[in-house]
Structure 1
Amino acid sequence: MKFEIATKDPESRARAGSIITGHGVIETPIFMPVGTIGTVKGIHQRELEDVINADIILGNTYHLYLRPGIDIINKAGGLHKFISWDRPILTDSGGYQVYSLSNNRKIKEEGVMFSSHIDGSKHFFTPEKAIDIQKKIGADIIMAFDECTPYPCAYDYAKRSMKMTHRWLDRCLEHMRKSDGLYGYEQCLAPIVQGSVYKDLRKESAEFIASRGADINAIGGLSVGEPHEDMYAMTDVVTEILPEDKPRYLMGVGTPANLLESIALGIDMFDCVLPTRNARHGLIYTSDGVINIKNAKWADDFSPLDANLGIETSSRFTKAYVRHLFQVKELLGAQITSLHNLSFFLQLVREARRRIQDGTFVNWKNNLVPKLSQRI
């Protein structure tokens, strides 16, 4: 994997670049649609390619391990072939499930015992097993196994967890070196910076991760309930330390405003379930702010969802019609809003890229962020 920086913004740490993988080029900054179980909810692969034009999507190791099972994915020739997707894929290692399934797991130095949320069966994940599973899945970018700490989190716990994450990283790196990929293309491992909202821990973790010389580096344990100001402060600390010539991935973030503010801090890659999850509940992101399409005020509004977005779905269907679809619980409503929201997020980061390249990014961002965050 190679990372090439085309343009640096003179007024911030923002940059426009390209990540070159075995399944194609990812232009950064980029937002990655989340396809946890081998599908981006409500979105056809053809729409991901032709409407949203997603450079890369995500899968989740823990969920794919449970269903359909790694043997089936392996027999299919890897996740790309299984889901009929020929562009890059990134897989989360299962570290987020250490956080999200806190009532169904037990952590120790060797690894994590999970109780399946499906049938209660026991499954033990070690750093080595997480690497083996992701190699069989066949993702282009695979994540190191880590513990994503909750918020709030006591300092001593955050420190112990961070140290364990570092030890797990070294085990991941060692195991990664022992075997080649299975499908004839390179897979690269991304370490994850932890440390909760403690500046000294984040600094220590970023220095540790930077010393390992990985092709891509990630920042985890944010966007888990902490104030946005804390998220930006921790990101600022970390991006000062992580190598400038490697992509930086802020995991699980976030709102449109979060994306723009974090791009200014030097982040290149993002993922979040927010655009599709909120779409299924009727929340629509637009260039004028956030709409709750279920509200009665849209019942006779025959203007398009967002004429400025430039895609057929957003300009063809009216707010009144989409509200009607939600009122009658028609699946098409969630499909339209999901397609719209993902298109909005992707176009937002692509406009950020253009603004970085023409030198107008900071002024554009500062004017747009308040608008994106308002409810209309």
Structure 2
Amino acid sequence: MPDIKDPLFQPYSLGSLQLPNRVVMPPMTRSRASQPGDVPNALMAEYYAQRASAGLIVSEGTWISPLGKGYAWTPGIHTPAQVAGWRQVTEAVHAACGRIYAQLWHVGRLSHTSLLGGQAPVSSSAIQAEGVNVFVAENDGTPGFVQASRPRALDKAEIRAIVDEYRQASRNAVAAGFDGVELHAANGYLANQFIDSNANDRTDEYGGSLENRLRFLDEVARALVEGVGDASRVGIRLAPLTTLNGCADADPETTYLAAAKLLGEIGVGYLHIAEADWDDAPLMPVAFKERLRTAFPGTLIYAGHYTAERAREAVARGWADLIGFGRPFVANPDLPERLRIGAPLNEHDRATLFGGEARGLIDYPALEAAEA
């Protein structure tokens, strides 16, 4: 039975999906896909199934096409083997009574030629993300970080092709058994490179005015709705105030309120707002969150350095419906129960976040094991 006094543990209806609580496991890159082919595997299935008590799981970013890849050993969702691998994951989560969306990812300029068969990354514009590093594997398999390569600007035919790739990726996600899809339009990735004014210097219908800079987001969101067949099963991740990976907007409040209004008109199920989560990051004003609530009629998820108490306050005050807890879910497979009873949290091991095998992925103890 839900705790009638605890806002985080009230059930919630996300479209036709019934969530038992308001705790979301947001996307987190872990770089454990099988090689060759970047295929989701049994290890990943166990990892996600361990965390199935979340109200909703959103998968790690999964790239929609070869040019959409930006980090070594991350999974794709465009080959039959990748779709079959993800089916193994979704079946494990559903067997554990969980719910899982696929986060669809095109990194745009945040990639390196070594990950793209020697090709340059693509973006809204030929603007390099200066000082931004991406995760690669050396020829001997050693992981490391290197400066993202200089991108080239997409032409309009290529933009249309990428919209089609998103549509197909959403169909692949449904075939793989996901309950829905989330577009990664935050954190400086491709959709964000069209939205934010400092990353887009185009002079055609995809650049310049706010309406033009939102055109790619509009077209991709509609393609995802078409591919899934149900707008309520599509979510969009946005990062209005973060400057992560070199993207920033000259007037973020105006830009992202317009984006929220547009996405509400399309009818997508939720917006997933990524707040900056580094120690000296700018706070997102509550007044801005309240304006987003007015602009967007669907579900609002917030993520970014939330404690249980901050999360309860956000839900109780009404500007958030669901709250994402990122790093705490890495080390605490039973995080919802720990939050519910106020149990201490395991600390994650930074050295095992990206790449490797089982250590640091599926070996963190649940409460019973920790107490034993």
Tell me the TM-score normalized by structure 2.
0.53
- Report if the CA contact (8 A) 2:235-2:272 is conserved: yes
- The 5 A counterparts of 1:68-83 are 69-70=76-77, 71-75=80-84, 78-79=86-87
Equivalent residue for 2:105? 94
Which of 24, 45, 63 in structure 2 is aligned with 1:31? 24
Q: Kindly tell me: are residues 80 and 172 of structure 1, through their superposed partners in 2, closer, same or farther at Cα, counting changes over 3 Å?
A: farther
Equivalent residue for 1:130? 166
Higher relative contact order (CA 8 A, sep 6+): 1
CA distance in 1, matches of 2:285, 2:365: 26
- The 5 A counterparts of 1:142-153 are 142-144=181-183, 146-149=185-188
CA distance in 2, matches of 1:223, 1:215: 23
CA distance in 2, matches of 1:69, 1:166: 26
Equivalent residue for 2:353? none
Which of 299, 303, 322 in structure 2 is aligned with 1:269? 322
- Report if the CA contact (8 A) 1:210-1:241 is conserved: yes
- Report if the CA contact (8 A) 1:131-1:144 is conserved: no
CA distance in 1, matches of 2:109, 2:290: 23
- List runs of 5+ in structure 1 lacking aligned partners: 1-6, 288-304, 324-330, 344-376
Equivalent residue for 2:56? 56
Structure 1 residue 90: Cα displacement: 1.7
- Report if the CA contact (8 A) 2:45-2:90 is conserved: no
Structure with greater proportional helix content = 1
- Report if the CA contact (8 A) 1:21-1:140 is conserved: no
Structure 1 residue 171: Cα displacement: 1.4
Q: Kindly tell me: are residues 286 and 247 of structure 1, through their superposed partners in 2, closer, same or farther at Cα, counting changes over 3 Å?
A: closer
Q: Kindly tell me: are residues 235 and 48 of structure 1, through their superposed partners in 2, closer, same or farther at Cα, counting changes over 3 Å?
A: same
2:51 is paired with a residue whose SS is helix
Give yes or no for the alignment of 1:254 onto 2:305.
yes
RMSD between superposed Cα atoms in Å: 5.5
Structure 1 residue 136: Cα displacement: 0.9
Letter in 2 for 1:248: L
Give yes or no for the alignment of 1:175 onto 2:223.
yes
Tell me the TM-score normalized by structure 1.
0.53
Which of 16, 19, 22 in structure 1 is aligned with 2:13? 19
**Structure with the greater alpha carbon radius of gyration:** 1
Structure 1 residue 275: Cα displacement: 1.0
- Report if the CA contact (8 A) 1:130-1:145 is conserved: no
- List runs of 5+ in structure 2 lacking aligned partners: 34-39, 114-119, 129-133, 139-147, 152-157, 201-206, 242-250, 350-357
Give yes or no for the alignment of 1:223 onto 2:264.
no
